[in-house]
Amino acid sequence: MKTTTMTRVTSLIGGALLGLTTLQASAASEMPPIPDVKGDVVKADGDFKIKFSIGTTQSGAQYRGLEYFEKIVEKRSDGHIQVELFPGAQLGDDLQAVSALQSGTLEMTAPSTSPLVSMFPKFALFDLPFLFPTPEVADEVLDGEIGQQMLKDASTNGLVAIGWAENGYRQLTNSQHPVSSPEDLDGLKIRTMQNPIHLDIWRTLGANPTPMSFAELFTALEQGVVDGQENPWITIQSSKFNEVQDYATETNHVYTPFITLVSERFWNKLPADYQQLLREAAKQMGDYERHVSRTMNDQIKQELADSGMQITELTPEQMKTFQDTVAPVYDDWRDKIGGELIDKVRAVSQ
Ligand code: TK8
């Protein structure tokens, strides 16, 4: 009797584990492979260690990008720079990691730009609703003059900004009911990033927004402290938000970049050739990570639907209602961000 039960339990656990492994493996194996490292070995003095922390988990595109970064840096420094990856906010959320860079206790991180707007007001460009119609427009902005100037401007306050990757287009999820119009948001408690424009967006749409760090989000959703949140499909899946959120709406309301940051204290200890190596590796990581994120986006949306999430795709009319309803957000922020900057992005989209 005892043996039979034991066997059943063991095989059940075995089955569950197997299921889990297969699931995780399926997402990861579909990811575009990590490219080979190109470029010569860079010779410079000294041995260095980089702890690189991110808020998203090991199964996301961001971590995959970091694995490529690690591979490039370790290979091209011939092992003289060792990179250690810390996913899942184990070393702190976006803001905590940035302040660890400033105090020199952490070497690298790659937060969403949104929680950093109090430090770098121009980053608010990436919080304006529906400003980036396609990933190609985002690329032109990030890799063009605007984005490169932003990296320079953000290289202050103990930070050196060396590249762009992406979190991606944000989608709404919630635990209560399907959302296809702003009316459906009435009273819904939505967690936002710690960012004033995001608060403004959700208030304008009629929801009840609360800012909170990403590291606290899963528990807040699970315990019903908030009803919903918004993040790209890949982040929703890699953080398992679908386990506590039955409904999603494909809103694509904001495009969020990840900015690659290095501690200035650490940077100043690096020989110039190694600094250049990190810049090149950050650029290659950013290109690859964006490719992974975009290749996976639709596939992951499908996987979320298959896992039981009810996903609402908006009709063009429904989308227009959302866009018209949030339009006043621009009146409030246009002057603060700089109308010229917004117009430049719009010009790229034409
Ligand atoms: C991860 C965060 C996250 C962001 C958020 O550290 O806070 O919702 O979208 O992905 O940067």
- Residue 3 pLDDT greater than 50, yes or no: no
Cα of 84 to ligand 1 centre, how many Å?
A: 20
Q: Mutation test of ligand 1: which of 52, 112, 194, 197 has the most ligand atoms closer than 8 Å to its C-beta?
A: 112
Cα of 214 to ligand 1 centre, how many Å?
A: 5
Cα of 243 to ligand 1 centre, how many Å?
A: 18
Q: In what order do the strands lie in the sheet with 159-169?
A: 81-86, 48-53, 108-109, 255-263, 159-169
What's the pLDDT band for 90 if we cut at 50, 70, 90?
very high
Cα of 231 to ligand 1 centre, how many Å?
A: 7
Reported in sequence order, the residue ranges of the chain that DSSP labels E, i.e. its strands, are 48-53, 81-86, 108-109, 159-169, 171-174, 189-192, 208-211, 228-231, 247-250, 255-263, 310-313
Ligand 1, atom 5, lies closest to the CA of: 214
Q: Are 174 and 247 in contact (CB under 8 A)?
A: yes
The greatest distance separating any two alpha carbons of the chain, rounded to the nearest whole angstrom, comes to 76
Q: State the burial class of residue 53 (Cβ atoms within 10 Å of its Cβ: 0-12, 13-18, 19+).
A: buried
Pocket of ligand 1 contains residue 94 by CB under 6 Å: yes
pLDDT computed for residue 150 by the predictor:
98
Q: What is the mean pLDDT of residues 141-161?
A: 98
Gap between the Cα atoms of 281 and 177, Å rounded: 44
Pocket of ligand 1 contains residue 241 by CB under 6 Å: no
Gap between the Cα atoms of 182 and 327, Å rounded: 13
Query: pLDDT tens for residues 268-326?
Result: 999 999 999 999 999 999 999 999 999 999 999 999 999 999 999 999 999 999 999 99
- Residue 13 pLDDT greater than 50, yes or no: no
Question: In 3-state terms, what secondary structure has residue 256?
Answer: strand
pLDDT computed for residue 228 by the predictor:
98
> Mind giving me the DSSP string for 82-126?
EEEEE-TTTT--HHHHHHHHHHTS--EE--BSGGGTTT-GGGGGG
Reported in sequence order, the residue ranges of 200-263 that DSSP labels E, i.e. its strands, are 208-211, 228-231, 247-250, 255-263
- Residue 28 pLDDT greater than 90, yes or no: no
Pocket of ligand 1 contains residue 70 by CB under 6 Å: no
pTM over 0.95: no
What's the pLDDT band for 27 if we cut at 50, 70, 90?
low
What's the pLDDT band for 350 if we cut at 50, 70, 90?
confident
Pocket of ligand 1 contains residue 231 by CB under 6 Å: yes
Q: Mutation test of ligand 1: which of 94, 96, 108 has the most ligand atoms closer than 8 Å to its C-beta?
A: 94
Q: Are 100 and 106 in contact (CB under 8 A)?
A: yes
pLDDT above 90 coverage of the chain, percent: 90
pLDDT computed for residue 223 by the predictor:
98
What's the pLDDT band for 74 if we cut at 50, 70, 90?
very high
Q: What is the mean pLDDT of residues 192-196?
A: 98
Pocket of ligand 1 contains residue 193 by CB under 6 Å: yes
pLDDT above 70 coverage of the chain, percent: 92
Atom of ligand 1 nearest to the CA of 235: 10
pLDDT computed for residue 42 by the predictor:
98
Pocket of ligand 1 contains residue 52 by CB under 6 Å: no
Task: Count the Cβ atoms, other than its own, within 10 Å of residue 233.
Answer: 27
What's the pLDDT band for 22 if we cut at 50, 70, 90?
very low
Cα of 126 to ligand 1 centre, how many Å?
A: 13
Pocket of ligand 1 contains residue 113 by CB under 6 Å: no
- Residue 199 pLDDT greater than 90, yes or no: yes
Ligand 1, atom 9, lies closest to the CA of: 231
